[in-house]
Structure 1
Amino acid sequence: MTYFIDRRPNAKHKSAVNRQRFLERYRKHIKRSVEEAVNRRSITDMERGEKVSIPAKDISEPVFQHGPGGARNIVSPGNKEFVAGDKIRRPSGQGGGGGAGEGGPSNQGEGVDEFAFTLSREEFLEFVFDGLELPHLQRKPLKSLEEVKMVRAGLSRDGVPSRISITRSMREAYARRIAMRAPIKRALKEAVEALEAEERKDTVLRNPTRIAELKAEIERLEKRIAGVPFIDTYDLRYHQLSAQPQPSNQAVMFCVMDVSGSMTQNHKDIAKRFFLLLYLFLEKHYEKVELVFVRHHTAAREVSEEEFFYSRETGGTIVSSALNLVNKIIEKRYPVGQWNLYVAQASDGDNWDDDSNICRDLLVKQLMPQLQYYAYVEITPHDHQSLWHEYESVVKEFPERFAMRQIVEAGDIYPVFRELFKRRLSQS
């Protein structure tokens, strides 16, 4: 049996392997604590680690104990009162108390504190975004030669030791040894047969000189065979690598947020927390995803990340201005054949009269045929308004690629986010 021991040093002498095994074993408890933490956190501390507690009863391990049967005589070390054969009286009272709290001694017997430990930032985000993905992500044609993958491209006699092909090198060495020894072995066989024939002759007919020459020849041939090297630099073969262009799965996410006067500060905070979750999700799981931030009231503007989350600009509401801006940015910078296009929109559903019809037409005729996925969240505890109802007709035409959900309070953000970006069984 072969044993593999991982002796790689871990930070602060901790076992990373054991920690990962522990996190996997108690994934259900940790995930529940993480979900609770996401719902109660503010925007600024969304990506720090988290202290997690697991009930002690849930981390108990099976142990072997003595059964009730059999005769057992035990005298504990340090005993001054009992000898073998004495019967010990049952303790009186209700048992010892637990730890003292604010209300005085406990009468509930012994207890065990919950097991608590801290998740790092990476571990915390791993649990937050477990099972999520960008829906319908596709590979697009090449945009440039920058995205390449190093693949094996045959063998060469020149290379570095780390890329040596052991199997092919040994095969070449074996073939070389066969080729070099074959004529020598044939000559050796002929010399041995000639020597045997000469030695079988009568003593009178034997030629001592000829026998001595054959023996010398046999010795020389045997030395030549033994001198053939087991492996030579000529035999070495190395794997060659070449840069192979890869189809690009790059994507762009448009974050569209309503900052009109109807959006209260609480609504804006919920929208910002939703977009921050989206930002962290994309940052952690995807390398080729760009983000475009768009804020709108009566007019829409492309803004920086800082301005998107912290600007205090406000005004009326014309949602179509944001959709028109997104469409223009796509036409100018993100060709459909080279990019996976996504839009996430957050609004309270309030819109200018007759503009909701324009939004529906923009989505159905221009945007949705280009997009991989459109996620709309409406932040309101009230009945839906015209924008929601117009978007329902978009869902009917694009049921797989247009999704809309309602958020009433901060506790709804994480469940809604997971529902919008949950992993699909198959990609279209």
Structure 2
Amino acid sequence: MVMNVIDRRLNPNGKSLPNRQRFIRLAKETIKESVVRSIRERGLGEVGQKQVVTIPMKRIAEPRLRHAAQGGDRDQVFPGNKEFVAGDLLPKPKAGAGDKGSRGAPEGEGEDDFRFTLTAEEYLDILFDELELPDLAKTQLKDASTWRNFRAGHSTSGSPSNLNLARTMRKSLARRISLGRPNTVERAAAEAEIAALRAKSPRTPEDDEALEALVARFKELDARARRIAYIDPVDLRFNRFERIPQPSAKAVMFCLMDVSGSMTEDMKELAKRFFLLLHIFLNRKYEHVDLVFIRHTSEASEVDEETFFNSRETGGTVVSTALAEMRRIVEQRYPSDAWNIYAAQASDGDNYSSDSQACLRLLQEDVLPVCQYFAYVEVYDPRQAEIFLSSLNVSDLWKDYESVAAGRANFAMKRVFSKADVFPVFRQLFASVRKAA
């Protein structure tokens, strides 16, 4: 079966509906581009703040037909002309011989770009549009205090805000028809006949009898309309709701960051920027997601948010300690049969050489089997970015992780070389529909 949809809406006065839709689409795209561009330039503390957006007028101006500045047939004689009269034919100027100055002067007038301010809420809505935690599937009743209202039919009493107008009017119409309440058409017809007889002159005795009968009929109709209400309390129907315990998905995100001596301040800045985006995204999009922060050097420990982002601790590098700490916390607090477990790890790829096997074993046997999704981000010093841009020039940790990632849909790996790369990488990792790496 083929269905054809025809849009018969009238265009607004002087406007084209497709052009209005195009304007809205361009405006949204321009705003989104401005927001994405701003995230590259903002400091860590400014990510979630309001943003001033500028839209170039030429990007959003509606297309319209107008006369060309040059060419075409014109009938015009300028004041002060002493050589030509109306009807004279003038030779067309050669290419480039026209008055170039007529196109406008530097001191001419124009329009400023369109500027407005997005609130922090609007800014974050646009920033995290079409992003989500992948495979948020496991559900469990957390406790009896989690309730939601669900539609459960209709009732004859309730709050005025829950009044169902359509069902109420249906009940009212059925009652009026069954009780024979006169409608406006009947009463208007009776009034018209009465007015016609009263206007008739001269009237016969039969006309007077008919007029008297019509007046009595009209009074009866009017009395019945007064007795039978248009809407009666028995007609009222309200939407009824029942409070039902709602299964809620429980999720936890593990943030693993390398803060060893091999991580320069620029690398740590990139890693913190990624985790800050992740933190704001989870708080913005989900009501209840636990965040576990783990920092590691040659040892790993769970820390609070303040310590995670601001501590200046440093030391050697043993990546397996972070994975082992994550395994310990999962076993103690987050059983995998009840929680959606996610992890994001940021490192420069440097690791103690004898730790590779332990790291791979923990990742393959303990971490990935319980994770819905694991994202690894490798950061590089912007001053050395050109050296590592080649996909062949990667760290040993990247090679180890790459051997594990093959064939696993719940493991993603990305590289970050500068602040401009952080948000595009973040969007690729947490897009609603992820593309293969």
TM-score, scaled to structure 2: 0.70
Aligned residue pair count: 365
Task: Select the structure of larger CA radius of gyration.
Answer: 1
**Residues 206-240 of structure 1: CA distance to partner in whole angstroms, max 9, x if unpaired?**
xxxxxxxxxxxxxxx99997645444323322221
Structure 1 counterpart of 2:45: 44
Is the alpha carbon distance of 1:294 and 1:28 closer, same or farther for their aligned partners in structure 2, counting shifts above 3 Å?
A: same
Q: What is the correspondence of 1:332-371 to structure 2 with a 5 Å cutoff?
A: 332-371=332-371
Q: Which moved more, 1:406-415 or 1:45-54?
A: 45-54
**Residues 159-206 of structure 1: CA distance to partner in whole angstroms, max 9, x if unpaired?**
12222233444454556567778xxxxxxxxxxxxxxxxxxxxxxxxx
Structure 2: which amino acid aligns with 1:41? R
Following superposition, the deviation at residue 309 of structure 1 comes to 0.9
Mapped to 2, the partners of 1:54 and 1:163 lie a distance apart of: 42
Confirm or deny: 8 A CA contact 1:51 1:116 kept in the other structure. Answer: no
**Residues 293-312 of structure 1: CA distance to partner in whole angstroms, max 9, x if unpaired?**
11111222222212111111
Confirm or deny: 8 A CA contact 1:53 1:114 kept in the other structure. Answer: no
Q: Which moved more, 1:58-67 or 1:137-146?
A: 58-67
Is the alpha carbon distance of 1:232 and 1:409 closer, same or farther for their aligned partners in structure 2, counting shifts above 3 Å?
A: closer
Q: What is the correspondence of 1:386-405 to structure 2 with a 5 Å cutoff?
A: 386-397=396-407, 399-405=408-414
Is the alpha carbon distance of 1:252 and 1:225 closer, same or farther for their aligned partners in structure 2, counting shifts above 3 Å?
A: same
The reply to whether residue 409 of structure 1 matches residue 408 of structure 2 is no
Following superposition, the deviation at residue 363 of structure 1 comes to 1.9
Mapped to 2, the partners of 1:355 and 1:57 lie a distance apart of: 57
Q: Which moved more, 1:24-33 or 1:292-301?
A: 24-33
Structure 1 counterpart of 2:295: 295
Mapped to 2, the partners of 1:165 and 1:294 lie a distance apart of: 53
Confirm or deny: 8 A CA contact 2:416 2:422 kept in the other structure. Answer: yes
Is the alpha carbon distance of 1:153 and 1:31 closer, same or farther for their aligned partners in structure 2, counting shifts above 3 Å?
A: closer
Mapped to 2, the partners of 1:235 and 1:94 lie a distance apart of: 77
Mapped to 1, the partners of 2:105 and 2:233 lie a distance apart of: 76
Structure 1 counterpart of 2:310: 310
The reply to whether residue 117 of structure 1 matches residue 115 of structure 2 is yes
Structure 2: which amino acid aligns with 1:95? G
Is the alpha carbon distance of 1:228 and 1:65 closer, same or farther for their aligned partners in structure 2, counting shifts above 3 Å?
A: closer
Structure 2 counterpart of 1:157: 156
Structure 1: which amino acid aligns with 2:150? V
Confirm or deny: 8 A CA contact 1:56 1:112 kept in the other structure. Answer: no
Mapped to 2, the partners of 1:57 and 1:414 lie a distance apart of: 27
Q: Which moved more, 1:292-301 or 1:385-394?
A: 385-394
Is the alpha carbon distance of 1:169 and 1:346 closer, same or farther for their aligned partners in structure 2, counting shifts above 3 Å?
A: same
Mapped to 2, the partners of 1:29 and 1:291 lie a distance apart of: 33
Q: Which of 387, 404, 429 lines up with 1:420 in the alignment?
A: 429
Mapped to 1, the partners of 2:272 and 2:21 lie a distance apart of: 32
The reply to whether residue 131 of structure 1 matches residue 130 of structure 2 is yes
Is the alpha carbon distance of 1:82 and 1:306 closer, same or farther for their aligned partners in structure 2, counting shifts above 3 Å?
A: farther
User: 2:331 aligns to what SS in structure 1?
Assistant: helix
Following superposition, the deviation at residue 24 of structure 1 comes to 3.4
**Residues 238-293 of structure 1: CA distance to partner in whole angstroms, max 9, x if unpaired?**
22111123231332211111111111111111111111121222222222323221
Mapped to 1, the partners of 2:285 and 2:126 lie a distance apart of: 12
Structure 2 counterpart of 1:251: 251
Confirm or deny: 8 A CA contact 1:150 1:242 kept in the other structure. Answer: yes
Unaligned runs of 5+ in 2: 1-7, 13-19, 181-219
User: 1:345 aligns to what SS in structure 2?
Assistant: strand
Structure 2 counterpart of 1:198: none
Mapped to 1, the partners of 2:123 and 2:166 lie a distance apart of: 44
User: 2:241 aligns to what SS in structure 1?
Assistant: strand
Q: Which moved more, 1:58-67 or 1:243-252?
A: 58-67
Is the alpha carbon distance of 1:161 and 1:412 closer, same or farther for their aligned partners in structure 2, counting shifts above 3 Å?
A: closer
Mapped to 2, the partners of 1:336 and 1:270 lie a distance apart of: 30
Unaligned runs of 5+ in 1: 6-18, 101-109, 182-220
Following superposition, the deviation at residue 423 of structure 1 comes to 2.0
Mapped to 1, the partners of 2:100 and 2:240 lie a distance apart of: 77
Structure 1 counterpart of 2:214: none
Mapped to 1, the partners of 2:297 and 2:259 lie a distance apart of: 6
Mapped to 1, the partners of 2:293 and 2:21 lie a distance apart of: 36
Mapped to 1, the partners of 2:272 and 2:372 lie a distance apart of: 23
Structure 2: which amino acid aligns with 1:400? A
User: 1:26 aligns to what SS in structure 2?
Assistant: helix
Mapped to 2, the partners of 1:425 and 1:271 lie a distance apart of: 21
Mapped to 1, the partners of 2:157 and 2:59 lie a distance apart of: 58
Mapped to 2, the partners of 1:48 and 1:147 lie a distance apart of: 32
Structure 1 counterpart of 2:204: none
TM-score, scaled to structure 1: 0.71
